[in-house]
Chain A
Amino acid sequence: MIRISRYGPLVGLIAGMAVLTFGSASFAVRPDEMLSDPALEARAEAISRDIRCVVCQGESIEDSDADIAHELRVIVREQLKAGATDDQVQEYLVARYGDFVLLKPPFKAKTAFIWTGPFLLLLGGGIGICLYFRRVARAEVTPLNVAEQARLEGFLKVDDDYPNPDRDEPAP
């Protein structure tokens, strides 16, 4: 009789999750699309990784199984084969689908905040913290008056027969 470990389902689950996480490193590129020239193919893949799939939107065309992503990959490769530069291929796609098609938006007036926003926030926060600590450091220290001094000494003195005015203890 085969004994299935009671951890069997757990092991299966972990294995399944591992496959989903690491196994699906999607190779959407079909073998028949690939160029025979490895240098050109490497360029095509580099370009495709930065081009957004226009129907799935969250994926690059390199990762997408969508039919239109396939067609765009083929177009990228055809253009490279015809001697286009990387920039020309990108321009071809941007002319048709707009900056949207680039996974990294270009730096323009409209996108300036996207690129500089995090740094501006960091800078603002940094300035805020600096100002705060400068004020803390500058705060004037007034010396204790006689009564306060006496009370402080009471705290500091560990002596059983000295009544602590802040502790609710029966007087000795």
Chain B
Amino acid sequence: MSMRRRLLFTLPLLALAFLAVVFALGLSPNRDPRAIDSPLVGKPVAGFVAPALVDGQPGVAVGDLPTGAYTGQVVAINFFASWCLPCRAEHPFLKKLAAEAGIPILGIAWKDKRKASQDFLDELGNPYFRVGTDENGRIGITSFGITGVPETFIIDKEGIIRARIPGPLSADLIEAQLLPLIKGLQK
């Protein structure tokens, strides 16, 4: 058999190897097929005003950063809703994040009735520095491009979105990803 023919016969094997690699990557447990890379990561937060949820406290207003209210420190913005079960699951970890990272977390109740969000925080405790409401969901969509709740964003000192975490926070996620990221941003 000529050399050229022999090479030709290895083609199916090469194709198989290529497909095996593609499928292995696609089926990897670390890959979330629903994850969408947000084009907003690396961009400044578009200004918004979320009216206060908690009586006697201001809401969450982020002016056109970096001139806004929270300039100068790293913050997390967490979207939640009383109707959202994973939000309940992640709730204890919000306190953990605030305590261990030493950053204020700004909560925004997304597409939720005021009273229902208030009851939610009364029942589980309020881990937020400030809480605002986004009843028609426009702040979440316009300023953050969120696809649902819970969703968390890490904003750096200059008001640039540095991370988008769709889905509930967990101890692992906070320790392995968020704390190192935040420490880096705080320098």
Q: Do A and B bind each other?
A: yes
- Residues of A with Cβ closer than 8 Å to B? 54-55, 57, 67-68, 71-72, 75, 94-98, 100
Q: Is the Cβ of A71 less than 8 Å from the Cβ of B39?
A: no
- Residues of B with Cβ closer than 8 Å to A? 34, 36-40, 111, 136-138, 141-142, 144-145, 147-148
A72's partner among B36, B37, B141 (CB-CB below 8 A) is: B141
Q: Is the Cβ of A98 less than 8 Å from the Cβ of B39?
A: yes
Q: Is the Cβ of B34 less than 8 Å from the Cβ of A96?
A: no
Q: Is the Cβ of A98 less than 8 Å from the Cβ of B137?
A: no
Q: Is chain A's interface secondary structure helix, strand, loop, or mixed overall?
A: helix
Residues of A within 8 A of B137 (CB): 67-68, 71
Residues of B within 8 A of A57 (CB): 34
Residues of A within 8 A of B141 (CB): 68, 71-72, 75, 96
When chains A and B are docked, how far (Å) is the Cα of A98 from the Cα of B142?
13
Name the residue in A71, A75, A94, A97 with the highest tally of chain B Cβ atoms < 10 Å from its Cβ: A97
Q: Is chain B's interface secondary structure helix, strand, loop, or mixed overall?
A: loop
When chains A and B are docked, how far (Å) is the Cα of A100 from the Cα of B142?
16
Name the distance in Å between B132's Cβ and chain A's nearest Cβ. Answer: 18
Cβ contacts A to B, 27 pairs, < 8 Å: A54-B36, A54-B147, A55-B148, A67-B111, A67-B137, A68-B137, A68-B147, A71-B136, A71-B137, A71-B138, A72-B141, A75-B141, A94-B39, A95-B39, A95-B40, A95-B145, A96-B39, A96-B40, A96-B141, A96-B144, A96-B145, A97-B39, A97-B145, A97-B147, A98-B36, A98-B37, A98-B39
Q: Is the Cβ of A55 less than 8 Å from the Cβ of B39?
A: no
When chains A and B are docked, how far (Å) is the Cα of A98 from the Cα of B38?
6
Residues of B within 8 A of A72 (CB): 141
Residues of A within 8 A of B37 (CB): 98, 100
Name the distance in Å between A47's Cβ and chain B's nearest Cβ. Answer: 16
Name the distance in Å between A128's Cβ and chain B's nearest Cβ. Answer: 10
Residues of A within 8 A of B111 (CB): 67
Residues of B within 8 A of A97 (CB): 36, 38-39, 145, 147
If A71-B138, A96-B40, A97-B145 are given as contacts, then 20 extra A-B residue pairs at C-beta distance below 8 Å, sorted by A number, are: A54-B147, A55-B147, A55-B148, A67-B137, A68-B147, A71-B141, A72-B141, A75-B141, A94-B39, A95-B40, A95-B145, A96-B39, A96-B142, A96-B144, A96-B145, A97-B39, A98-B36, A98-B37, A98-B39, A100-B37
